[in-house]
Amino acid sequence: MDYSFFQHYWWLLVSLLGALLVFLLFVQGGQTFIWPWQKDVTLQKMIINSSGRKWEFTLTTLVTFGGAFFASFPLFYSTSFGGAYWVWMLILFCFVIQAVSYEYQSKHGNVWGKKTFHTFLVLNGILAPVLLGAAVSTLFTGGNFLVDKSVIYNFTQAAGPISAWQPYHGIQLHGLEAVLNPWNLVLGIAVLFLARTTALLYFINNIDDEALQTKAKKALRPNALIFVVFFVAYVAFLVTTTGYTEDPTTGVISLENYKYLHNFLAMPIVLIIFLIGVVLVLAGIALTLFKPAFRKGIWVEGVGVVLSVLGLLLVAGWNNTAYYPSLFDMQSSLTLRNSSSSPYTLQAMSIVSLLIPFVLAYIFYAWRSIDKKKMTRKEIEDNHHTY
Protein backbone atom coordinates (compact mmCIF):
# COMPACT_ATOMS: atom_id res chain seq x y z
CA MET A 1 0.00 0.00 0.00
CA ASP A 2 1.98 2.98 -1.30
CA TYR A 3 1.29 6.72 -1.17
CA SER A 4 -0.93 6.58 -4.25
CA PHE A 5 -3.10 3.88 -2.67
CA PHE A 6 -3.82 6.04 0.37
CA GLN A 7 -4.58 9.06 -1.81
CA HIS A 8 -7.14 7.06 -3.79
CA TYR A 9 -8.47 5.44 -0.63
CA TRP A 10 -9.17 8.80 0.98
CA TRP A 11 -10.80 10.14 -2.15
CA LEU A 12 -13.09 7.11 -1.95
CA LEU A 13 -13.97 7.92 1.67
CA VAL A 14 -14.56 11.60 0.92
CA SER A 15 -16.72 10.64 -2.07
CA LEU A 16 -18.73 8.25 0.08
CA LEU A 17 -19.35 10.97 2.66
CA GLY A 18 -20.43 13.31 -0.12
CA ALA A 19 -22.83 10.67 -1.46
CA LEU A 20 -24.33 10.11 1.99
CA LEU A 21 -24.74 13.86 2.39
CA VAL A 22 -26.70 14.12 -0.85
CA PHE A 23 -29.02 11.34 0.35
CA LEU A 24 -29.52 13.00 3.74
CA LEU A 25 -30.54 16.24 2.06
CA PHE A 26 -34.04 14.75 2.05
CA VAL A 27 -34.39 16.67 5.33
CA GLN A 28 -33.98 19.91 3.38
CA GLY A 29 -36.29 18.61 0.67
CA GLY A 30 -38.95 17.81 3.24
CA GLN A 31 -38.83 21.35 4.60
CA THR A 32 -39.86 22.77 1.22
CA PHE A 33 -43.33 21.23 1.70
CA ILE A 34 -44.06 23.27 4.82
CA TRP A 35 -45.76 26.04 2.85
CA PRO A 36 -47.61 23.95 0.21
CA TRP A 37 -49.18 21.77 2.91
CA GLN A 38 -49.81 24.46 5.55
CA LYS A 39 -53.62 24.38 5.24
CA ASP A 40 -53.65 21.10 7.20
CA VAL A 41 -51.95 22.23 10.42
CA THR A 42 -51.50 18.72 11.81
CA LEU A 43 -50.09 17.45 8.51
CA GLN A 44 -47.67 20.37 8.43
CA LYS A 45 -46.57 19.56 11.97
CA MET A 46 -46.05 15.91 11.03
CA ILE A 47 -43.69 16.71 8.16
CA ILE A 48 -41.78 19.21 10.33
CA ASN A 49 -41.30 16.61 13.05
CA SER A 50 -40.56 13.80 10.60
CA SER A 51 -37.80 15.89 9.00
CA GLY A 52 -36.73 17.45 12.28
CA ARG A 53 -35.82 14.12 13.84
CA LYS A 54 -33.10 13.69 11.21
CA TRP A 55 -31.61 17.16 10.71
CA GLU A 56 -28.65 16.38 12.99
CA PHE A 57 -27.63 13.49 10.70
CA THR A 58 -27.34 15.87 7.74
CA LEU A 59 -25.40 18.53 9.63
CA THR A 60 -23.04 15.96 11.17
CA THR A 61 -22.34 14.42 7.76
CA LEU A 62 -21.65 17.86 6.27
CA VAL A 63 -19.16 18.66 9.04
CA THR A 64 -17.52 15.24 8.69
CA PHE A 65 -17.30 15.69 4.92
CA GLY A 66 -15.52 19.02 5.39
CA GLY A 67 -13.27 17.59 8.08
CA ALA A 68 -12.28 14.61 5.96
CA PHE A 69 -11.44 16.92 3.05
CA PHE A 70 -9.34 19.10 5.36
CA ALA A 71 -7.40 16.17 6.78
CA SER A 72 -6.79 14.28 3.54
CA PHE A 73 -6.60 17.05 0.92
CA PRO A 74 -5.66 20.23 2.79
CA LEU A 75 -4.76 22.19 -0.33
CA PHE A 76 -8.34 21.85 -1.58
CA TYR A 77 -9.59 22.96 1.80
CA SER A 78 -7.38 26.06 1.84
CA THR A 79 -8.16 26.85 -1.80
CA SER A 80 -11.92 26.35 -1.89
CA PHE A 81 -12.97 26.93 1.71
CA GLY A 82 -10.42 29.72 2.08
CA GLY A 83 -10.87 31.39 -1.31
CA ALA A 84 -14.46 30.65 -2.35
CA TYR A 85 -15.60 31.34 1.19
CA TRP A 86 -18.77 33.27 0.38
CA VAL A 87 -20.55 30.26 -1.10
CA TRP A 88 -19.46 28.09 1.86
CA MET A 89 -20.50 30.79 4.35
CA LEU A 90 -23.94 30.90 2.75
CA ILE A 91 -24.22 27.12 3.03
CA LEU A 92 -23.15 27.29 6.68
CA PHE A 93 -25.64 30.10 7.34
CA CYS A 94 -28.42 27.96 5.84
CA PHE A 95 -27.65 25.17 8.30
CA VAL A 96 -27.37 27.59 11.24
CA ILE A 97 -30.87 29.00 10.65
CA GLN A 98 -32.15 25.44 10.26
CA ALA A 99 -30.83 24.40 13.67
CA VAL A 100 -32.17 27.57 15.31
CA SER A 101 -35.58 27.14 13.64
CA TYR A 102 -36.10 23.58 14.79
CA GLU A 103 -35.07 24.31 18.36
CA TYR A 104 -36.87 27.63 18.90
CA GLN A 105 -40.05 27.58 16.79
CA SER A 106 -42.11 26.06 19.62
CA LYS A 107 -40.28 27.60 22.57
CA HIS A 108 -42.16 29.76 25.05
CA GLY A 109 -41.38 33.42 24.53
CA ASN A 110 -40.96 33.08 20.76
CA VAL A 111 -41.79 36.67 19.80
CA TRP A 112 -41.09 36.09 16.11
CA GLY A 113 -43.81 33.51 15.70
CA LYS A 114 -43.69 30.04 14.14
CA LYS A 115 -44.16 31.34 10.60
CA THR A 116 -40.84 33.17 10.75
CA PHE A 117 -38.99 29.98 11.65
CA HIS A 118 -40.99 28.03 9.07
CA THR A 119 -39.78 30.56 6.49
CA PHE A 120 -36.19 29.94 7.62
CA LEU A 121 -36.70 26.18 7.20
CA VAL A 122 -38.08 26.64 3.69
CA LEU A 123 -35.13 28.89 2.78
CA ASN A 124 -32.75 26.26 4.10
CA GLY A 125 -34.62 23.60 2.15
CA ILE A 126 -34.22 25.47 -1.13
CA LEU A 127 -30.86 27.21 -0.82
CA ALA A 128 -28.81 24.45 0.85
CA PRO A 129 -29.31 21.81 -1.89
CA VAL A 130 -28.87 24.34 -4.71
CA LEU A 131 -25.70 25.85 -3.23
CA LEU A 132 -24.23 22.45 -2.32
CA GLY A 133 -24.99 21.15 -5.80
CA ALA A 134 -23.35 24.19 -7.39
CA ALA A 135 -20.31 23.85 -5.10
CA VAL A 136 -19.90 20.15 -5.93
CA SER A 137 -20.27 20.92 -9.63
CA THR A 138 -17.14 23.09 -9.44
CA LEU A 139 -15.19 19.85 -9.02
CA PHE A 140 -15.92 19.43 -12.74
CA THR A 141 -16.33 23.01 -13.98
CA GLY A 142 -13.49 24.52 -11.94
CA GLY A 143 -12.75 27.62 -9.91
CA ASN A 144 -10.90 30.88 -10.44
CA PHE A 145 -7.81 30.37 -8.28
CA LEU A 146 -4.02 30.42 -8.42
CA VAL A 147 -1.73 28.12 -6.42
CA ASP A 148 1.73 29.48 -5.61
CA LYS A 149 3.84 26.32 -5.67
CA SER A 150 6.92 28.15 -4.38
CA VAL A 151 5.14 28.35 -1.04
CA ILE A 152 4.37 24.64 -1.12
CA TYR A 153 7.88 23.48 -1.90
CA ASN A 154 9.78 26.15 0.02
CA PHE A 155 7.36 27.19 2.74
CA THR A 156 10.09 27.96 5.27
CA GLN A 157 11.35 30.88 3.15
CA ALA A 158 8.46 31.99 0.94
CA ALA A 159 5.86 34.39 2.30
CA GLY A 160 2.19 34.75 1.52
CA PRO A 161 -0.74 32.37 1.05
CA ILE A 162 -0.40 29.11 -0.84
CA SER A 163 -3.51 29.76 -2.93
CA ALA A 164 -5.35 32.92 -3.83
CA TRP A 165 -8.79 33.45 -5.35
CA GLN A 166 -8.79 35.59 -8.47
CA PRO A 167 -11.34 38.22 -9.59
CA TYR A 168 -14.16 37.13 -11.89
CA HIS A 169 -14.33 39.60 -14.81
CA GLY A 170 -12.66 42.17 -12.60
CA ILE A 171 -14.94 41.56 -9.60
CA GLN A 172 -13.82 39.60 -6.54
CA LEU A 173 -16.79 37.29 -5.80
CA HIS A 174 -14.95 34.67 -3.70
CA GLY A 175 -16.91 31.69 -4.94
CA LEU A 176 -20.28 33.28 -5.68
CA GLU A 177 -19.43 33.10 -9.37
CA ALA A 178 -20.23 29.38 -9.09
CA VAL A 179 -23.94 30.19 -9.35
CA LEU A 180 -23.27 32.21 -12.53
CA ASN A 181 -22.23 29.05 -14.36
CA PRO A 182 -25.47 27.60 -15.80
CA TRP A 183 -24.22 24.01 -15.52
CA ASN A 184 -23.52 24.48 -11.82
CA LEU A 185 -27.10 25.66 -11.41
CA VAL A 186 -28.36 22.68 -13.41
CA LEU A 187 -26.76 20.32 -10.91
CA GLY A 188 -27.96 22.48 -8.01
CA ILE A 189 -31.55 22.29 -9.25
CA ALA A 190 -31.18 18.54 -9.83
CA VAL A 191 -30.00 18.11 -6.22
CA LEU A 192 -32.93 20.23 -4.97
CA PHE A 193 -35.55 18.12 -6.72
CA LEU A 194 -33.73 14.92 -5.79
CA ALA A 195 -33.95 16.05 -2.16
CA ARG A 196 -37.68 16.77 -2.57
CA THR A 197 -38.24 13.39 -4.25
CA THR A 198 -36.35 11.52 -1.52
CA ALA A 199 -38.28 13.47 1.13
CA LEU A 200 -41.61 12.38 -0.35
CA LEU A 201 -40.47 8.75 -0.33
CA TYR A 202 -39.34 9.20 3.26
CA PHE A 203 -42.70 10.67 4.32
CA ILE A 204 -44.53 7.78 2.64
CA ASN A 205 -42.42 5.34 4.65
CA ASN A 206 -42.30 7.26 7.93
CA ILE A 207 -45.78 8.77 8.37
CA ASP A 208 -48.89 6.63 8.71
CA ASP A 209 -51.58 9.00 7.47
CA GLU A 210 -53.95 8.63 4.53
CA ALA A 211 -53.97 12.34 3.64
CA LEU A 212 -50.17 12.41 3.65
CA GLN A 213 -49.94 9.33 1.47
CA THR A 214 -52.27 10.89 -1.10
CA LYS A 215 -50.50 14.25 -1.19
CA ALA A 216 -47.02 12.72 -1.26
CA LYS A 217 -47.75 10.35 -4.14
CA LYS A 218 -49.42 13.16 -6.08
CA ALA A 219 -46.35 15.37 -5.63
CA LEU A 220 -43.87 12.57 -6.31
CA ARG A 221 -44.39 12.33 -10.06
CA PRO A 222 -43.67 16.01 -11.03
CA ASN A 223 -40.75 16.34 -8.61
CA ALA A 224 -39.15 13.11 -9.83
CA LEU A 225 -39.67 14.13 -13.45
CA ILE A 226 -37.97 17.51 -12.94
CA PHE A 227 -35.06 15.80 -11.18
CA VAL A 228 -34.62 13.27 -14.00
CA VAL A 229 -34.63 16.00 -16.69
CA PHE A 230 -31.97 18.11 -14.95
CA PHE A 231 -29.89 15.09 -13.93
CA VAL A 232 -29.84 13.64 -17.44
CA ALA A 233 -28.92 17.06 -18.83
CA TYR A 234 -26.00 17.36 -16.41
CA VAL A 235 -24.71 13.84 -17.07
CA ALA A 236 -24.92 14.52 -20.83
CA PHE A 237 -22.87 17.68 -20.30
CA LEU A 238 -20.38 15.82 -18.13
CA VAL A 239 -19.60 13.00 -20.55
CA THR A 240 -19.16 15.40 -23.47
CA THR A 241 -17.20 18.19 -21.79
CA THR A 242 -13.46 18.72 -21.76
CA GLY A 243 -11.64 17.81 -18.56
CA TYR A 244 -8.20 18.34 -17.08
CA THR A 245 -5.86 15.35 -16.97
CA GLU A 246 -2.54 14.97 -15.17
CA ASP A 247 0.56 13.27 -16.53
CA PRO A 248 1.43 10.83 -13.70
CA THR A 249 5.14 11.09 -14.51
CA THR A 250 5.69 14.83 -14.88
CA GLY A 251 2.64 16.18 -13.06
CA VAL A 252 1.86 18.46 -16.02
CA ILE A 253 -1.85 19.12 -16.48
CA SER A 254 -3.44 19.31 -19.93
CA LEU A 255 -6.88 19.35 -21.53
CA GLU A 256 -8.55 16.11 -22.60
CA ASN A 257 -11.72 15.92 -24.65
CA TYR A 258 -14.43 13.65 -23.18
CA LYS A 259 -12.31 13.21 -20.06
CA TYR A 260 -15.11 12.01 -17.78
CA LEU A 261 -16.50 9.65 -20.39
CA HIS A 262 -12.99 8.20 -20.71
CA ASN A 263 -12.86 7.87 -16.91
CA PHE A 264 -16.06 5.83 -16.88
CA LEU A 265 -14.80 3.59 -19.65
CA ALA A 266 -11.37 3.19 -18.05
CA MET A 267 -12.97 2.24 -14.70
CA PRO A 268 -15.81 -0.17 -15.57
CA ILE A 269 -16.49 -0.97 -11.91
CA VAL A 270 -17.19 2.71 -11.23
CA LEU A 271 -19.43 2.83 -14.31
CA ILE A 272 -21.35 -0.22 -13.06
CA ILE A 273 -21.75 1.37 -9.61
CA PHE A 274 -23.09 4.54 -11.22
CA LEU A 275 -25.51 2.70 -13.52
CA ILE A 276 -26.80 0.45 -10.71
CA GLY A 277 -27.36 3.58 -8.65
CA VAL A 278 -29.36 5.25 -11.42
CA VAL A 279 -31.49 2.12 -11.92
CA LEU A 280 -32.21 1.88 -8.18
CA VAL A 281 -33.22 5.55 -8.01
CA LEU A 282 -35.69 5.07 -10.85
CA ALA A 283 -36.89 1.75 -9.41
CA GLY A 284 -37.59 3.25 -5.99
CA ILE A 285 -39.67 6.00 -7.57
CA ALA A 286 -41.49 3.71 -10.01
CA LEU A 287 -42.35 1.07 -7.38
CA THR A 288 -43.84 3.74 -5.13
CA LEU A 289 -45.88 5.28 -7.95
CA PHE A 290 -47.22 2.08 -9.50
CA LYS A 291 -47.57 -0.21 -6.47
CA PRO A 292 -50.12 1.40 -4.10
CA ALA A 293 -49.11 -0.68 -1.07
CA PHE A 294 -45.34 -0.22 -1.56
CA ARG A 295 -43.87 2.13 1.08
CA LYS A 296 -40.17 1.24 1.13
CA GLY A 297 -39.15 3.24 -1.90
CA ILE A 298 -36.89 5.43 0.26
CA TRP A 299 -34.50 2.52 0.83
CA VAL A 300 -34.35 1.42 -2.80
CA GLU A 301 -33.98 5.00 -4.05
CA GLY A 302 -31.69 5.97 -1.16
CA VAL A 303 -29.16 3.25 -1.92
CA GLY A 304 -29.33 4.32 -5.56
CA VAL A 305 -28.63 7.95 -4.65
CA VAL A 306 -25.53 6.98 -2.67
CA LEU A 307 -24.19 4.71 -5.44
CA SER A 308 -24.82 7.14 -8.31
CA VAL A 309 -23.31 10.15 -6.50
CA LEU A 310 -20.37 7.98 -5.41
CA GLY A 311 -19.75 7.04 -9.05
CA LEU A 312 -19.82 10.68 -10.16
CA LEU A 313 -17.39 11.80 -7.45
CA LEU A 314 -14.98 8.95 -8.17
CA VAL A 315 -14.67 9.93 -11.84
CA ALA A 316 -13.96 13.48 -10.67
CA GLY A 317 -10.75 12.45 -8.90
CA TRP A 318 -9.54 9.04 -10.01
CA ASN A 319 -7.73 8.10 -13.24
CA ASN A 320 -5.21 11.00 -13.17
CA THR A 321 -7.96 13.64 -13.17
CA ALA A 322 -7.74 17.19 -11.84
CA TYR A 323 -10.65 17.10 -9.40
CA TYR A 324 -10.60 20.90 -8.99
CA PRO A 325 -9.64 22.57 -12.28
CA SER A 326 -8.23 26.10 -12.16
CA LEU A 327 -9.81 28.40 -14.72
CA PHE A 328 -7.11 31.01 -14.06
CA ASP A 329 -4.00 28.84 -14.36
CA MET A 330 -4.28 25.28 -15.64
CA GLN A 331 -1.15 24.11 -13.79
CA SER A 332 -2.69 25.28 -10.50
CA SER A 333 -5.44 22.66 -10.84
CA LEU A 334 -5.68 20.27 -7.91
CA THR A 335 -5.16 16.52 -8.24
CA LEU A 336 -4.88 13.69 -5.75
CA ARG A 337 -1.09 13.79 -6.09
CA ASN A 338 -0.46 17.51 -5.62
CA SER A 339 -3.04 18.35 -2.94
CA SER A 340 -3.04 15.48 -0.42
CA SER A 341 -1.60 15.24 3.06
CA SER A 342 1.71 13.52 3.77
CA PRO A 343 2.04 9.72 3.51
CA TYR A 344 2.29 9.45 7.29
CA THR A 345 -0.89 11.50 7.84
CA LEU A 346 -2.92 9.53 5.31
CA GLN A 347 -1.66 6.21 6.69
CA ALA A 348 -2.40 7.17 10.30
CA MET A 349 -5.90 8.39 9.38
CA SER A 350 -6.52 5.21 7.43
CA ILE A 351 -6.06 3.21 10.62
CA VAL A 352 -8.60 5.43 12.37
CA SER A 353 -10.98 5.02 9.42
CA LEU A 354 -11.34 1.34 10.33
CA LEU A 355 -13.75 2.55 13.02
CA ILE A 356 -16.17 3.85 10.37
CA PRO A 357 -18.25 0.61 10.24
CA PHE A 358 -18.91 0.94 13.98
CA VAL A 359 -20.05 4.54 13.52
CA LEU A 360 -22.35 3.49 10.67
CA ALA A 361 -23.73 0.70 12.84
CA TYR A 362 -24.54 3.23 15.57
CA ILE A 363 -26.24 5.53 13.06
CA PHE A 364 -28.31 2.60 11.79
CA TYR A 365 -29.28 1.70 15.36
CA ALA A 366 -30.22 5.30 16.22
CA TRP A 367 -32.19 5.72 12.99
CA ARG A 368 -34.09 2.49 13.56
CA SER A 369 -34.89 3.46 17.15
CA ILE A 370 -36.28 6.82 16.03
CA ASP A 371 -38.39 5.30 13.24
CA LYS A 372 -39.42 2.13 15.07
CA LYS A 373 -42.99 3.39 15.23
CA LYS A 374 -44.67 5.18 12.31
CA MET A 375 -45.72 8.75 12.97
CA THR A 376 -49.47 9.36 13.27
CA ARG A 377 -51.78 12.32 13.78
CA LYS A 378 -52.64 11.09 17.27
CA GLU A 379 -48.98 11.07 18.28
CA ILE A 380 -48.51 14.65 17.09
CA GLU A 381 -51.73 15.94 18.63
CA ASP A 382 -51.16 14.26 22.02
CA ASN A 383 -47.40 14.79 22.34
CA HIS A 384 -46.32 18.19 23.62
CA HIS A 385 -42.61 17.40 23.11
CA THR A 386 -42.62 18.14 19.40
CA TYR A 387 -41.04 20.75 17.16
* Amino acid at the residue 354: L
Answer yes or no: is pLDDT of 355 > 90. no
SS3 164: strand
Measured in degrees and rounded to the nearest 5, phi and psi for residue 139 equal -65, -20
* Amino acid at the residue 290: F
pLDDT in tens, 162-185: 778 888 877 888 888 888 899 999
CB 216 within 8 A of CB 204: yes
Measured in degrees and rounded to the nearest 5, phi and psi for residue 110 equal -75, 95
pLDDT in tens, 255-296: 999 999 999 999 999 999 999 999 999 999 999 999 988 999
Burial readout 15-31 (b: 16 or more C-beta within 10 A, e: otherwise): bbbbbbbbbbbbbbbbb
Of residues 30, 33, 27, the one with CA closest to residue 56: 27
pLDDT at 49: 87
Residue 377: partners with Cβ closer than 8 Å, 6 or more residues away = 42, 46, 209
pLDDT in tens, 370-387: 777 888 888 777 776 666
- Segment 329-349 shows an average pLDDT of 91
Confidence of residue 155 (pLDDT cuts 50, 70, 90): very low
